Structure 1
Amino acid sequence: MDAAMPESRPPIELRGLSLAHLQKLAAERRLPPVEQWTPERCGHSAMRIARDGTWYHEGSPIGRPAMARLFATVLRREKDGRHVLVTPVEKLDIDVDSTAFRAIEMRSEGEREGRRIAFLLDTGDLVMLDKDHPLAILQEEYGLSPRVAVRHGLEAELARPVYYELAEIALAEGNQPPGVWSNGTFFPLEAGE
């Protein structure tokens, strides 16, 4: 890993931008085509993503956010549930304690069925809450885990303040069951079966 590697994917900032502009910025970000790469499994990366989103290599935190963002671009989840870092020539397992990403900020525009919601991830990426990126509430041993689908089988767990923002919207709008609309789809804020 080259410590002098330049930041090639600066994070998207939510502040001051409309959701339409944010969606355009997100669409312009080109990610490697990891879904097309099918190398043989080569072993383990000696890396782990902790539940709080911290990336570790050989037990030590990766101190450069740009490096973690770079690794996140070649991350995917296999059908068997394993997380892997994949390039055209190798596929390495990576341990993930909960989800690969965290949704750390939220932006909402509109009301009820006309509402649109975007989440900023800890990697600086943006996910629009919609039918292709649904919200799920899972019951985990540590409590409820609200998650949004990101890409390639990967999910982002919503930070508690972000989940509380969604809950405030659901309560204010009086949706039954409690939940929120985004991009024409309704997402209940209760644990699935």
Structure 2
Amino acid sequence: MPESVVPPEDLSKLSLAEIAQLVEEKRLPPVAQWNPAHCGNSGMRIARDGTWYHEGRPIVRPAMVRLFSTVLRREPDGSHVLVTPVEKLTIQVEDAAFVAVEMKSEGSGPGRALAFRLNTGEIVSADGDHGIRIAAGEDGPRPYLHVRSGLEARITRPVYYELAQLALDEGCDPPGLWSRGAFLGLAE
């Protein structure tokens, strides 16, 4: 399995050019090409806060979580599985597979670029393929970032407030921000 590049814990120490380089270097297993028979339940769960559990106990080793996250796939029926060339196991996901815990913004208007760090350490640059969607929730809007192949990251409330403030400062109507040439709406 390819080794993943683990970025520094703080995006503010990187330029967006450095972030783009890290994203470009990201190598993930080709899980979309693997179609083994379903083998059962993994006994794993991803909680709403992004904590991974195995048989009721949190997985405390970040490297293990990163490894499992690279073989995570969302099926056409919306379920989630861990998949290798020889087995496919169901994993319960309470909300989203990832959590966007930090954001970096450079530029403004159509020239802006946004990047997000996920709870797994992965970095996602927002663009036309990695958009933002806002869902209605009982506790207010729930923002999500498309990560890959139907997998999403719930954007934490503080990061969403940063996005909203940037959008208010720019005064776009409808509310939203540009990133890498794509307009990302921030309204439900």
Match of 1:127 in 2: 124
Distance 1:73 1:128 in 2: 17
Describe how 1:54-133 pairs up with structure 2 within 5 A.
54-133=51-130
2:34 to 25, 34, 37: 37
Listed one character per residue, the Cα deviations across residues 72-107 of structure 1 (whole Å, up to 9, x for unaligned) are: 000010010000000000000000000000000000
Q: Secondary structure at the match of 1:15?
A: helix
Match of 2:23 in 1: 26
Match of 1:160 in 2: 157
Aligned residues: CA RMSD: 1.1
Q: Please, which runs of 5 or more residues in structure 1 have no aligned partner?
A: 1-7
Match of 1:11 in 2: 6
Amino acid in structure 1 at the alignment position of 2:75:
E
Listed one character per residue, the Cα deviations across residues 140-179 of structure 1 (whole Å, up to 9, x for unaligned) are: 3443210010012100000111101100101101111111
Deviates more, 1:32-41 or 1:141-150: 141-150
TM-score (norm 1): 0.92
Q: Secondary structure at the match of 1:148?
A: strand
Q: Please, which runs of 5 or more residues in structure 2 have no aligned partner?
A: none
Identity level (%) = 59
Distance 1:177 1:71 in 2: 38
Q: 1:11–1:123: 8 Å Cα contact kept in structure 2?
A: no
Amino acid in structure 1 at the alignment position of 2:114:
I
Deviates more, 1:22-31 or 1:165-174: 22-31
Post-superposition offset of 1:130: 0.5
TM-score (norm 2): 0.94
Distance 1:129 1:23 in 2: 11
Aligned residues: 184
Distance 1:173 1:47 in 2: 42
Listed one character per residue, the Cα deviations across residues 34-93 of structure 1 (whole Å, up to 9, x for unaligned) are: 011010111110000000000000111111111111100000100100000000000000
Distance 1:36 1:85 in 2: 13
Amino acid in structure 1 at the alignment position of 2:132:
L
